[in-house]
Structure 1
């Protein structure tokens, strides 16, 4: 059974801390500036992640006994939090931010939280250099994926809560109490902040929040990799499918346009959805899709065939949206192009037999 104190206490702490952080932001001038990419108006605090960070670690101090692996997660998470906080206050260069993400990943590896082996279609790769490299790419990739989703009120926080709750529930099934405790404490801390971050937001989590959450999700997904089936790479990849697809699409899109791949734009999935459905509904839709991916993980555990069909259907739907919205490029439509070629060929064959 879940001890609901691990959810309620960080939720209450985060809820109480957030108004104080909003007031402090005015004096520190730590508020989000308006530009051509922003969807907000006015001076809104962008260091709300401080509430999530403090609520998480205060609660952890009471409920969790620190071991070597958890120490690595705490240190690595703190590196990402303070890196994000500095970026929120003085704007850090992207290359410096990436270097700190790699440093946090190396700390995590040093404390024993990493991929031991890589399994691809039955092939086992246990070369230390490659497993370390893969771990660093995984941590940096997921951290940036969550960071990129922080473009609408409540989006990054809402999706993170969904992902954490699903991981926590699966951990409960597998009786991984350590993973259950960490995920639900972090989910509670994030949910408390979401009370103020839901549209229309009165505070943003900023990079200190999104980088911290991204790192923690990626680290938790590796925590049980050696001894449990609940946090293999397939699960977090499934839960983070939207931000992963969005990140890869952004890199491809910017490369085709001759832009730097870390250069920001306004063609992410949430931006495109917002044009059609509006701000609030877009957040609900994306959190809903993430929930469906989480549900598909449970279905897959019960019936692999049905689970695979559900996952494939979700991925097909996202791919069609990317093609129809020209998210990557106006000429990028492999599935729709294939469908048109099949229909064209079918009509040609049909006409040929008809005239005979």
Structure 2
């Protein structure tokens, strides 16, 4: 029940601070700008992440005693929050945000949060050495931007983040990691209080200060939680973040094939394609449900590896089918469907040949 306890305080703080942030936004005119990627209309505050950040930091001060790793996470998370806040207020170039993502990652490494050793079954051990620096930087920047990219629909980034934090906290319960349990559930409560106002139709957005902060915290906690673990355990946070990761990689491929810059906005993200078919609210429900299913598959894997692995493969298969059917990357990208069509043609030729042989007889 302590998990519920640490969620209640940040939830109430976030619930109370968010209206104040909305009030400030009116005076400061910090409204979300409309572009090719946005789906909202009107003046809506874009600094809701302030409420999430403050609720988290206040609750951490009340409940937690920071060790070296947590200090690094708080410092790096603060760097990403203020980077996003400056971007929300005055707009900064993507390269500047990337620079501060690298700085935040280096701070994390300085405080000892990184993957330096991976222990495989049968006593096999891989020592990353200097490569761990590059791996950590790429991981932090990749996951942070993945969460930032899915912040395109009311309640989507926040809803998926809550699910990821709750699942991570529950997995940490099994692994008996009280530090990760507290971090995950405090973040879940902080985000949940904000979601009361951010669910469709949203009256406030989290902005980059919220999405960059949450993305960093997800990536940092996963490194902290699965350090020096087996490769399969390291894959669990990747599994939970499968949809934003797939969306980010698809965006890179899609924009590269079209000759676009990665920073250029478009409406071919996973959530945009789903919204065209299922509507705003249903799309958020579908994507959050898929994230929950991936989280559930992690539990299944821990109970029964074969069944869990099969569940993961089935989920990935349906994600791949959607990517191909929706032309999310390109109309020419359809390896699975292309293989199916080739098999169909092969079967038709075999039937045709058998029919000819019968006719000849």
Aligned position for 2:142: 141
Aligned mates of 1:334, 1:253 — CA distance in 2: 15
Aligned position for 1:74: 74
The answer on whether the counterparts of 1:167 and 1:231 sit within 8 Å (CA) in structure 2 is no
The answer on whether the counterparts of 2:119 and 2:230 sit within 8 Å (CA) in structure 1 is no
Aligned mates of 1:143, 1:3 — CA distance in 2: 25
Aligned runs of 1:45-60 on 2, under 5 Å?
45-60=45-60
Aligned mates of 2:345, 2:257 — CA distance in 1: 29
The answer on whether the counterparts of 1:49 and 1:206 sit within 8 Å (CA) in structure 2 is yes
Aligned position for 2:294: 293
The answer on whether the counterparts of 1:48 and 1:206 sit within 8 Å (CA) in structure 2 is yes
Aligned mates of 2:216, 2:234 — CA distance in 1: 14
**TM-score, normalization by structure 2:** 0.95
Aligned mates of 1:98, 1:274 — CA distance in 2: 29
1:191-229 Cα shifts (integer Å, max 9, x gaps): 000000000000000000000000000000011223667
Aligned mates of 1:117, 1:3 — CA distance in 2: 30
Is residue 170 of structure 2 the alignment partner of residue 169 of structure 1? yes
User: Which secondary structure state, in structure 1, belongs to the residue aligned with residue 38 of structure 2?
Assistant: coil
1:264-287 Cα shifts (integer Å, max 9, x gaps): 211000000000110000000000
Closer/same/farther in 2, CA of residues 120 and 138 from structure 1, 3 Å limit: farther
User: Which secondary structure state, in structure 2, belongs to the residue aligned with residue 151 of structure 1?
Assistant: coil
- Superposition misfits of 4+ residues, deviation over 4 angstroms: 118-124, 227-231
17-26 or 126-135, which moves further after superposition? 126-135
The answer on whether the counterparts of 2:115 and 2:228 sit within 8 Å (CA) in structure 1 is no
Aligned mates of 2:33, 2:190 — CA distance in 1: 26
Q: How far did 1:33 drift?
A: 1.6
Aligned position for 1:155: 156
User: Which secondary structure state, in structure 2, belongs to the residue aligned with residue 4 of structure 1?
Assistant: helix
1:225-258 Cα shifts (integer Å, max 9, x gaps): 2366799421110000000000000000000000
The answer on whether the counterparts of 2:118 and 2:231 sit within 8 Å (CA) in structure 1 is no
The answer on whether the counterparts of 1:14 and 1:193 sit within 8 Å (CA) in structure 2 is yes
Aligned mates of 2:231, 2:160 — CA distance in 1: 19
Aligned position for 1:180: 181
305-314 or 2-11, which moves further after superposition? 2-11
Aligned position for 1:6: 6
Aligned mates of 2:197, 2:301 — CA distance in 1: 35
Aligned mates of 2:308, 2:232 — CA distance in 1: 17
Aligned mates of 2:39, 2:121 — CA distance in 1: 43
1:140-184 Cα shifts (integer Å, max 9, x gaps): 000000000100000000000000000001111221111111100
Aligned mates of 1:66, 1:284 — CA distance in 2: 35
The answer on whether the counterparts of 2:117 and 2:228 sit within 8 Å (CA) in structure 1 is no
Aligned position for 2:225: 224
Is residue 115 of structure 2 the alignment partner of residue 115 of structure 1? yes
Closer/same/farther in 2, CA of residues 204 and 29 from structure 1, 3 Å limit: same
The answer on whether the counterparts of 2:36 and 2:266 sit within 8 Å (CA) in structure 1 is no
Aligned runs of 1:1-356 on 2, under 5 Å?
1-118=1-118, 124-226=125-227, 232-356=233-357
Aligned mates of 1:319, 1:25 — CA distance in 2: 41
**TM-score, normalization by structure 1:** 0.97
Q: How far did 1:263 drift?
A: 1.7
Q: How far did 1:127 drift?
A: 3.7
State the superposition RMSD in angstroms: 1.7
Q: How far did 1:34 drift?
A: 1.9
Aligned mates of 1:120, 1:230 — CA distance in 2: 6
User: Which secondary structure state, in structure 2, belongs to the residue aligned with residue 171 of structure 1?
Assistant: helix
The answer on whether the counterparts of 1:150 and 1:156 sit within 8 Å (CA) in structure 2 is yes
172-181 or 124-133, which moves further after superposition? 124-133
Q: How far did 1:15 drift?
A: 0.2
- Equivalenced residue count is 356
197-206 or 175-184, which moves further after superposition? 175-184
The answer on whether the counterparts of 1:81 and 1:212 sit within 8 Å (CA) in structure 2 is yes
Aligned mates of 2:280, 2:252 — CA distance in 1: 24
Aligned mates of 1:36, 1:236 — CA distance in 2: 31
Aligned mates of 2:224, 2:64 — CA distance in 1: 15
